[in-house]
Chains A and B, each alone.
Chain A
Amino acid sequence: MLPQTMGSETNIKLPISFILFSLFALVLSQIQLLVNGQLMTDGSFRIPVIWSSAHFLVLGWALMAAMGAMYQLVPVAFLTNIWNERFGFIQFFVTAVGITSFAAMLYWSPQNAIIPGVLTLLGILMFLVQMFMTLSKQAKPTILTAFVGSSLVCLFITISLGITLIYSLKTGFASEYYQSIFEAHLLMGVSGWFTLLIFGFSYKMVPMFSLSHGFPMVQAKFVYGFYLSGLVVSLVSFFTNNSILLKIGFLLLLIGFTIFSWHIKIIIKKRLKKTLDKPFRFALVAIGFGNVIHLAAFIMLWNQDVSHFAGPLIYAYLLLWIVLSIVSYLYKIVPFLWWTYKYSKEIGKNKVPSLKEMMNEKIVPTLFSLFIVAVLIVFCALTFHVAILFNIGQFVLSIVFIIIAISILKVLKK
């Protein structure tokens, strides 16, 4: 038997600060869309209010929630302590101020968004330093390290391209490449950073939440290889305007995602836990959506009017794959964080609640089903330019998001 030293838990205040900020940004981005977003139904995506709301949703909510989750999950998944917790708190402050001022400036004065953009960049760079220093301490890197490390590289590229876009808007620098940089920014952000990150942590969380054992891991290497190749080929196609290369890139992404879905199915089949928790079931549903959207994106490339479908599909990918995955996992991560803070010293001494008792799971199926329906309504509204449909869908979605934020916050009262 090989004795091991005890692990160490991250100071809960660090991940919880990120997650609380993310919930605030989530609610705000939805209210902003509800009030101003009707313009999207005319196909106008690249307008200040959409930039602002999208960045509040993607940076303020999804990125901050992902950062918070990483501060919690990286030490346990990679069996190494966070490099510097104090640095983590400073990073939180810089990033929170950066994102808030950046989203505000995109709304009121986009051409002056460069300074808050640089502050956001600084916060993200600090996060990248923190994570790379932490991962470099890992004794034995695994395929999970490859997924998470690559996702961090993609995050760096996304932010650099984003800053280039703002600089180009202000000075005209590289204006002939503006469209290519914009496409690369989107691809690296949604498929590079978020998808690779969710892939990586899914390989830790899916077996953990389903108590799966004895499953193969060889498929993960193929997922990584195909998906990363797809990202690189698609990226090259944007800058060379080569449509065949773009089709090959999207095909590789589709193959990578499909192998991932199939692999998760194998893992779930090997589970010991017969009944899966409700939020976790929706994290699995999100994988199905992600796969279908990848297929739809590949088919879309054969259509003459690609730009007509691109916006709605990116919207669906963001909401039904990335947001649904993150929200589902937040319903597991937040109770765990709060339980650790409140009860980890009580276990073995007094009766403590289970994690399931920390959260009202009963509302999850209705709430998440409403979320899916609302996103599909907005997706149809964006595809067919129906303003009334957009208003209905976005109204329901905003309400659902607010209830989700409140129900997650209610855990803190347990």
Chain B
Amino acid sequence: MMNTKVKILSALKSVYDPELNINVVDLGLIYNIEITESNDVTITMTLTTPGCPLHDSITSGVRYSVEGLEETGKVEVNLVWEPAWSPDKMTPEGLRLLGR
């Protein structure tokens, strides 16, 4: 299970916010990854702002990237606005890419 989670996180690192050119993991958009016994995955995530024009593209990209893994079954993306995204959710690498 732990191994699958690592692979999912690695796959998610290939999904970039095209405006910021930072992946969704380093941006701190991924809140939770749940894996069932049958390897179905539910990803809870947010976006930097509720009115993000890349709303559909990023959430679809997250789903596609995880669906592409051999270890996973059904993938569901659960987009939430609470708790709201804030900069402290970013990784040091994400902040570095923003010039911080």
Chain A interface residues toward B at CB < 8 A: 1-4, 6-9, 72-73, 76-79, 204, 207-209, 211, 213-214, 272-275, 336, 339-340, 343-345, 347-349, 351-356
Cα A310 to Cα B40 in complex, Å, equals 67
Q: A213-B86, A349-B68 are in contact. Are A340 and B98 (CB under 8 A)?
A: no
Are A207 and B81 touching (Cβ within 8 A)?
A: no
Q: Which residue of B lies closest to A213 (CB)?
A: B87
Are B55 and A7 touching (Cβ within 8 A)?
A: yes
How far apart are A200's CB and chain B's nearest CB, in angstroms?
A: 12
Are B48 and A211 touching (Cβ within 8 A)?
A: yes
Are B52 and A348 touching (Cβ within 8 A)?
A: no
Cα A204 to Cα B51 in complex, Å, equals 8
Q: A6-B55, A272-B100 are in contact. Are A355 and B18 (CB under 8 A)?
A: yes
Are A4 and B80 touching (Cβ within 8 A)?
A: yes
> Per a CB cutoff under 8 Å, which of B14, B59, B86 touches A6?
B59
> A352 contacts which chain B residues (CB < 8 A)?
16, 18
Q: Which of B44, B61, B62 has the most CB of A within 10 A?
A: B61
> A4 contacts which chain B residues (CB < 8 A)?
79-81
Cα A79 to Cα B56 in complex, Å, equals 12
Overall SS of chain A's interface: loop
> B66 contacts which chain A residues (CB < 8 A)?
348
**5 A-B pairs in the complex with CB atoms less than 8 angstroms apart:** A6-B59, A78-B51, A275-B99, A347-B16, A351-B14
Cα A228 to Cα B31 in complex, Å, equals 42
Are B20 and A273 touching (Cβ within 8 A)?
A: yes
Q: Which of B51-95 contact A (CB under 8 A)?
A: 51-66, 68, 78-83, 86-87, 95
A3-B80, A6-B59, A356-B21 known; 6 new pairs, CB 8 Å cut-off, are A2-B82, A9-B56, A343-B18, A348-B68, A349-B68, A354-B16
> B54 contacts which chain A residues (CB < 8 A)?
336, 340
Cα A209 to Cα B95 in complex, Å, equals 16
Interface presence of B37 (CB below 8 A): no
How far apart are A140's CB and chain B's nearest CB, in angstroms?
A: 11
Are B53 and A73 touching (Cβ within 8 A)?
A: yes
Interface contacts (Cβ under 8 Å), in number, total 107
Are B51 and A348 touching (Cβ within 8 A)?
A: no
> A3 contacts which chain B residues (CB < 8 A)?
78-80
> A356 contacts which chain B residues (CB < 8 A)?
21
Cα A214 to Cα B85 in complex, Å, equals 11
Q: Which residue of B lies closest to A73 (CB)?
A: B53
> A336 contacts which chain B residues (CB < 8 A)?
19, 53-54
> B61 contacts which chain A residues (CB < 8 A)?
347-349
> A204 contacts which chain B residues (CB < 8 A)?
51
> B56 contacts which chain A residues (CB < 8 A)?
6-9, 344
Q: Which residue of B lies closest to A204 (CB)?
A: B51
> A347 contacts which chain B residues (CB < 8 A)?
15-16, 18, 57-58, 60-61, 64
Are B64 and A348 touching (Cβ within 8 A)?
A: yes
Interface presence of B49 (CB below 8 A): yes
How far apart are A256's CB and chain B's nearest CB, in angstroms?
A: 24
How far apart are B57's CB and chain A's nearest CB, in angstroms?
A: 4
Cα A213 to Cα B49 in complex, Å, equals 10
> B20 contacts which chain A residues (CB < 8 A)?
211, 273
Are B18 and A72 touching (Cβ within 8 A)?
A: no
> B87 contacts which chain A residues (CB < 8 A)?
213, 272
How far apart are A83's CB and chain B's nearest CB, in angstroms?
A: 18
Are B80 and A208 touching (Cβ within 8 A)?
A: no
Cα A126 to Cα B37 in complex, Å, equals 54
> A274 contacts which chain B residues (CB < 8 A)?
98-100
How far apart are A7's CB and chain B's nearest CB, in angstroms?
A: 4
> A207 contacts which chain B residues (CB < 8 A)?
49
Cα A72 to Cα B55 in complex, Å, equals 13
Q: Which residue of B lies closest to A332 (CB)?
A: B19
Q: A79-B50, A272-B87 are in contact. Are A211 and B98 (CB under 8 A)?
A: yes
Cα A412 to Cα B55 in complex, Å, equals 22
How far apart are A347's CB and chain B's nearest CB, in angstroms?
A: 3
> B68 contacts which chain A residues (CB < 8 A)?
348-349
Cα A4 to Cα B79 in complex, Å, equals 6
A interface footprint on B13-40 (CB within 8 Å = 1, 0 otherwise): 0111011110000000001000000000
How far apart are A114's CB and chain B's nearest CB, in angstroms?
A: 39
How far apart are B22's CB and chain A's nearest CB, in angstroms?
A: 9
Cα A304 to Cα B64 in complex, Å, equals 67
Q: Which residue of B lies closest to A274 (CB)?
A: B99
Cα A209 to Cα B18 in complex, Å, equals 12
Are B79 and A6 touching (Cβ within 8 A)?
A: yes
Q: A1-B31, A4-B81, A274-B100 are in contact. Are A208 and B58 (CB under 8 A)?
A: no
> B82 contacts which chain A residues (CB < 8 A)?
1-2
Are A354 and B21 touching (Cβ within 8 A)?
A: yes
Q: A272-B87, A348-B14 are in contact. Are A76 and B64 (CB under 8 A)?
A: no
